[in-house]
Structure 1
């Protein structure tokens, strides 16, 4: 079953952000756009490159009113230790959620049950708590924060302009489409 347009399920988790531990629930997402960025594990290989890439673009996401939440089945203590020891991870200013029980990871259907780790899942959630974008990558394939930023802009545009859609490779400021009978077979 697709998670598109479904509301995120309730959760409560401990997280690490800006040198502090804090509790996060689904209520914290209401009223703003969010990205849930699942990754397999701390202290690994592809994961720090992705998280650093997101950290480098975090300010741009913030300008769009988007909060980033990275999630792994590690604990919030492990997130802090990784943040304190890795030059790449020290750049992170967004929330790092610990999900050692796998509840959130299972809620988003990205748990690799046989190993207890998350797939590389990316979810863009709108202001009402509904999932608008789902992307799942195999473990060895890293994601690109610039492409995610483009997709978030497209999702926000479509939400603000319900009678328009964004074509392939659409970038902010470019022409959109207004679906109609007149366009059928002419694109």
Structure 2
């Protein structure tokens, strides 16, 4: 998936009290995060989505749009948003993918169950996957780490010839790979 283009899609979503149509055209020219999760009205999922909601303003300030995705419908997302305090604080778009097309496009469909894996993808403005994370059912993700990876991806994209080492944080030193660095790190 890394360095591959997002495949065409068209789905319905729920955002800030409205139903919306979203396609690959909506992410063109922008950074985006696709945050797949198994199902609404579950256990680990709301903790992750709430954590992501807490980091959404900073992601937006960096020009990143966030799309959570499950194989539930946009109607189910609306009901969950209205019934859960944690989910009610979400301002990003919650995409419904009942046919599984978008989930399959990203290669994270659990076919036997019809549910998405717990997976995150960072997409650059050209629609290319720059980072991904997939965890087992019971392992929740950390939005702060996702934000760190977004910052690293944006830094590398803006600074050709530089790379971000392990645990890199914004403002810290980067590396400029060269023959002289071989064996010296």
* TM-score normalised by length of structure 1: 0.99
Question: How much has 1:85 moved relative to structure 2?
Answer: 0.1
Task: Identify the residue that residue 167 of structure 1 maps to in structure 2.
Answer: 165
Moved over 2 A (4+): none
Structure 1 segment 1-187 matched on structure 2, within 5 A: 3-187=1-185
Question: How much has 1:158 moved relative to structure 2?
Answer: 0.2
Question: How much has 1:92 moved relative to structure 2?
Answer: 0.1
Question: How much has 1:54 moved relative to structure 2?
Answer: 0.3
How far does the alpha carbon of each residue in 1:110-158 deviate from its partner, in whole angstroms, 9 at most, with x for none? 0000000000010000000000001100010000000000000000000
Residue aligned with 1:21, SS: strand
Q: C-alpha separation between the residues in 2 aligned to 1:80 and 1:128? A: 30
Question: How much has 1:162 moved relative to structure 2?
Answer: 1.3
Q: C-alpha separation between the residues in 2 aligned to 1:28 and 1:59? A: 19
How far does the alpha carbon of each residue in 1:56-106 deviate from its partner, in whole angstroms, 9 at most, with x for none? 110010010000000000000000000000000000000000000000000
Q: C-alpha separation between the residues in 1 aligned to 2:23 and 2:99? A: 15
Residue aligned with 1:71, SS: strand
Question: How much has 1:40 moved relative to structure 2?
Answer: 0.1
Q: Structure 2, unaligned stretches of length 5 or more?
A: none
Q: C-alpha separation between the residues in 1 aligned to 2:119 and 2:72? A: 16
**Alignment root-mean-square deviation, CA:** 0.3
Q: C-alpha separation between the residues in 2 aligned to 1:56 and 1:134? A: 20
Total equivalences in the alignment: 185
